[in-house]
A = this chain, B = another copy of it.
Amino acid sequence: MHYLVTGGAGFIGSNLVDRLLGLGHRVTAFDNFSTGLPRFIEGARANPNFTLIEGDLLDADKIVQAAKGADFVFHLAANADVRFGTEHPRRDLEQNTIATFNVLEAARLSGIRQFAFSSTGSVYGEAAVIPTPEDAPFPVQTSLYGASKLAGEGQIAAYAEGFGLKTFIFRFVSILGPRYTHGHVYDFYRKLSADSSRLPVLGDGHQKKSYLYIDDCVDAILTVTQKADGKVNIFNLGTNEYCEIVDSIRWICEELGANPKLEFAGGTRGWIGDNPFIYLDTTKIRSLGWKPRHTIEQGVRNTLQWLKNNDWVYQQRG
């Protein structure tokens, strides 16, 4: 198989690229390096089955060219920054909604028949049902990020119906693991490295969140794309557990031997549109035989160790 992976130099993308190459597939990665890093694809570039195309998905012609000859698209490129949407409201529209349309058109024009997409549990807004199943009550969006991913989902489903694509939509919780370069573990390690005596924490620390380890995430993606056989295959990806932010802080501090004073900003939410309780029902993907091999605690600890051993990402990403 020849896979096109948009965002192929990013956190999830580069891990998926390595896995696909390891399975003997041909892979074209498309990335604008807005958050992806060249070092994440150093190994891939040594493989003759790998091609890198540097470009932005708003360049519709470029992604059409990149898609030529591919059999399957993993569209993972995105503005993945859920927190700062209101500071630059057009970014989610452009980098998520319009970019996804451009990739769909490229797939259609290139005769690609299968299309997988990284959506998010944020599309459930403040879910009325927890753990939240894929067919939860029609949610109300609470963030521009979630809204832009939902827009992508809708376009993909309409392409499946209108043009016969087979599609896979993954609603992720937050992902942890090697090459992770944004989120609370990343931020807390940077802050504690600068000053281990205190740690500012958004909200009251009791926000409840789910996390999934990157290897389990890639396993899940490949399980679904191999086994699901509908036209529009929508799957939650997450663990059967959640933690509070204060739990994660405790694990991080143990790994670092730190004992900071926690300074809570207060309130139940970390930011406008933050969902204080994210916990997805993963019955559907478990029915395909997949289950995660890492707990949230293992994921947080492994991620912290990877960040300690790869301090260079802070120089490159800030």
Contact = CB atoms under 8 A, between A and B. Distances in A.
Interface residues on A, range: 35 or more
A311 to B, nearest CB: 34
Contacts of A85: 158, 162
Interface stretch (A45-53, A140-148, A177-185, A278-286): A140-148
Interface in A152-186: 153-155, 157-159, 161-163
B93 A273 contact: no
A138 B137 contact: yes
- Choose among A97, A125, A232 the residue with the greatest number of B CB atoms under 10 Å from its CB: A97
A73 interface: no
Contacts of A244: none
A18 to B, nearest CB: 32
Interface in A26-65: none
Given A136-B137, A137-B136, A138-B136, A147 B143 contact: no
Contact of A150 (B86, B93, B154): B154
B154 A146 contact: yes
Contact of A141 (B90, B157, B272): B157
Given A98-B98, A136-B137, A155-B144, A272 B162 contact: yes
Interface in A182-220: none
B105 A101 contact: no
A142 B155 contact: no
- Choose among A135, A136, A147, A273 the residue with the greatest number of B CB atoms under 10 Å from its CB: A147
A66 interface: no
Contact of A93 (B90, B124, B143, B155): B155
Contacts of A128: 135
A270 to B, nearest CB: 14
A154 B141 contact: yes
Interface in A232-247: 232, 234
A59 to B, nearest CB: 15
A230 B154 CA distance: 25
Given A86-B163, A105-B89, A134-B138, A158 B147 contact: yes
8 contacts: A85-B162, A86-B162, A89-B108, A93-B98, A124-B138, A135-B138, A140-B232, A150-B151
Interface of A: 85-86, 89-90, 93, 97-98, 101, 104-105, 108, 124-125, 128, 134-144, 146-148, 150-151, 153-155, 157-159, 161-163, 232, 234, 272-273
